[in-house]
Structures are given as structure tokens and as C-alpha cells.
Amino acid sequence: MVQVDRCGGDLVAFIDQMLAVSECELAPTIIGRETLIALLVAVRGVSRKLASMMLAWIMGAAGDDRPHWRAVAASMVAVDSLVHNHLHRTGILSAYRAQHPYGNRCFGLIGCEMVIRDLAERVSDLNRFTVSRRRLERAIWRFCATIELARCNGRRIKDDGPCQLTNCPLWDGCGHVPLRPPRSQEASDDTPDPAV
């Protein structure tokens, strides 16, 4: 397999060049983000989640001379299984009519990424200050991750039943939707007995 250095040995100059092209468009942050993500996911083994995480960390650390980098970094959303499962369990995906299994559909037009983008905008409008999509996604992840707050995850909540953590700060507003509801009794009663 032939490997091609698309960056010419200078990642910073390459990102600057890609963003300079997007500056001519109507929505430069979106065009820049999507251009950079598309280039990274073309690399074998790099998913949209991984590309978004890498770019958010690299570009978010830019200095004051590159404010457009930070704007693009703030627009990144990396959806992992913890974030997806939280959106499912709380009933948020259902409210958006965006129910789907974890995977590529998380980044579709009606997936987790779109839901987080919309929620960040709604929170920003409500509080009159900007909440970046990346910060909202990270807050959800921290709420769920075992190494962080460890509230809404499979170690604390059984996947086949609703959440029972009544001391959760989100209890009153949560949908308590099972991640994988058990098969109904009627369905299991209709299953023929295996041959003996």
C-alpha cells in the first residue's frame, strides 16, 4: 500500500490551507469542519468520532492568532457509546424522533450529533451565552464515564430495564428508557419449543 503525505510534513500549514478555502463559503466553520473530517476519515481505521476528537484537541489548543481554529474545534462533536446511550436512556433521542442503534447513524442527519448540536443551540439561547457542542458532548460523557461522575452507564443501570437511580440529579426530567428492553412475555410464549 502506498502512503501519501497529504500534509507535506506540516500539519499546521495544511489545516490553515483547508480552512482558508472554507473562508470563501457561506458557513466557513461548518465547511472547514466537514472538509477536515472528510480528509481524516479517508485514512483507514479513522472514524468520524476519532477524527472529531483529534481535531478538537489539536485545534482547540490554537493561540490567539488562529481564532478560526478554535471556532472549528468548538463545533466538533464526538459521539461514543456512553453519549449515545445517555441520549437514549433519558428519552432525548425519542423526543427528537431520532432513535437508532449506536454506530454510523449517530452522525447522520437525525442522529446523536444533530441532537447535541440542537441542544447546545437551545441551551445557548436560553442562557444567553454560547455553549459549544464539544463542551456539551464532553459534559454528557463526563456524567456517564466510570472514570468521571459515573452516573448514567451500564455498570450502574441494567440495560434491560429502566434506571432505578432515584438520587440522580436528572431523575425528574429523565425518560428512564431501557437501553435494550427485554422481549415481551407474549413474544417468548409464541416461540416454538426446540426439537428434543
Q: What is the mean pLDDT of residues 178-190?
A: 65
Instruction: Give dist(CA 125, CA 123) in Å, integer.
Output: 5
Banded pLDDT at 1 (limits 50, 70, 90):
low
pLDDT in tens, 158-169: 999 999 999 999
Q: What is the pLDDT of residue 173?
A: 95
Does the pLDDT of residue 176 top 60, yes or no? yes
pTM of the predicted structure, to 2 decimals = 0.82
- Amino acid code (one letter) for 195: A
pLDDT in tens, 17-44: 989 887 777 688 888 999 999 999 988 8
Q: What is the mean pLDDT of residues 106-127?
A: 89
Percentage of the chain with pLDDT > 70? Answer: 91
